Amino acid sequence: MTTTEVIIVGAGPLGLELAVALKRARIDYVQLEAGQIGQAILDWPAMTRWFSSSDRITIAGVPIQSVSQEKCTREEYLAYLRGVVMQFDLDMCTYERVLGITRKDDLFTVTSRTRVGTMCKRAARYVVLTTGGMAAPNRLGVHGEDLPHVSHWMADPHTYFRRRVLIVGGRNSAVEAALRLYHAGTKVSISYRDAAFPDKVKYWLRPEIEYLVKTGRITAYFETVPIVILPEHVELRPVGGGRHMSIPADFVLLMVGYVADMSLFRQVGVELSGVRDVPVYDEQTMQTNVPGLFVAGTATAGTQQSGVRVFLENCHVHVDRIVASMTGNPPPPTPEPVSLPEA
């Protein structure tokens, strides 16, 4: 079994930023990624734009420049990540999922499975979990959720041209999908459990969605929840009671958030608090209650429901804290919270 100083689990933007920092600090590491680098972003619908401005999502000090000066698209950002990996010549094992972590005599054993099913075991002094917070969509648990025309992800907007789509949800991803599909010639309706779109809807999306709803171009069923999904329509129940509505829909998009997979944390003995499974860790070092086991990135927040507060853009400091802790240096100062409206 090979032994290394650090094993990084996950190669999302934060895991990659950490890899660059370890390389710069000449600390030996191995990076294991279940999918491709930036897999969570690769899973976004084509041409989705980041909500954060580009300077907030750059990693390792490498600037992002775009031809349009707009916020980055999924495609631009994935190309950027590939460029960072090439620039720093980062080594990593992609398509290799970590299945187990155990700790004995101050050494971790990390078990993983490659794409072709080969089982691997590696030992390390430190493990950093940068496994993100969006392992799977949040399920509503309604009858019909698994029908083929129902999805938690928007496909290419072309898919829905001149068809009826019901979007369930009212936060940024749902609103953005509604606008994109409307402009792609789709008959869009929205079911949202609250009485209006929440304050958190981005300021550049809100005026347009409100205008399209007000003018009847998009139909919004506020204060409703789906109770059954059938092949050609969805039954909505008003939250406050009353008559159910039957809404025709050729496709149904359930855009109601994601859940984190905290099974590795649980398995290795990290304490998880509350219903969101938030790992317990020291804010100055990012070390969990398991000595030598660190957490970084959006994984620090467990499952983020009813309001996402931890994003890539406010996680960069985790990298400096971890490297400082591993090299015996004092932790970096805590950055001032950013009050940009897009943050």
Cβ at position 33, least distance to ligand FAD in Å: 5
Judged by CB under 6 A, which of 84, 92, 98, 165 binds ligand FAD? 98
Exposed/middle/buried for 19, CB within 10 Å: 0-12, 13-18, 19+? Answer: buried
Cβ proximity to ligand FAD, 36 vs 159, nearer residue: 36
The span from the CA of 49 to the CA of 71, in Å, is 6
Judged by CB under 6 A, which of 23, 97, 163, 180 binds ligand FAD? 97
Task: Please state, as a whole number, how many other Cβ atoms lie within 10 Å of the Cβ of residue 40.
Answer: 19
Judged by CB under 6 A, which of 6, 7, 15, 316 binds ligand FAD? 15
Please report whether residue 14 would count as binding ligand FAD according to CB under 6 A.
yes
Closest by CA to 183, choosing from 204, 167, 160, 202, is 160
Task: Give just the sign of the alpha carbon dihedral 38, 42, 45, 46.
Answer: positive
Query: Which value, to the nearest 10 degrees, does the dihedral of the CA atoms of residues 189, 191, 195, 196 take?
Result: -50
**Tell me, what DSSP letter sits at residue 47?**
T
219 bridge partner residues: 189
Please report whether residue 131 would count as binding ligand FAD according to CB under 6 A.
yes
- For β-strands 2-9 and 119-129, DSSP reports them as parallel
Judged by CB under 6 A, which of 6, 7, 8, 9 binds ligand FAD? 9
169-208 binders of ligand FAD (CB under 6 A)? 173
Judged by CB under 6 A, which of 6, 7, 8, 10 binds ligand FAD? 10
Cβ proximity to ligand FAD, 57 vs 236, nearer residue: 57
The span from the CA of 249 to the CA of 284, in Å, is 50
In this chain, which stretch among 130-138, 140-148, 184-192, 223-231 interacts with ligand FAD, using CB under 6 A?
A: 130-138
Binding site residues, ligand FAD, CB under 6 A = 9-15, 32-35, 39-41, 44, 48, 50-52, 57, 97-98, 130-132, 134, 173, 264, 297-298, 311-313, 315
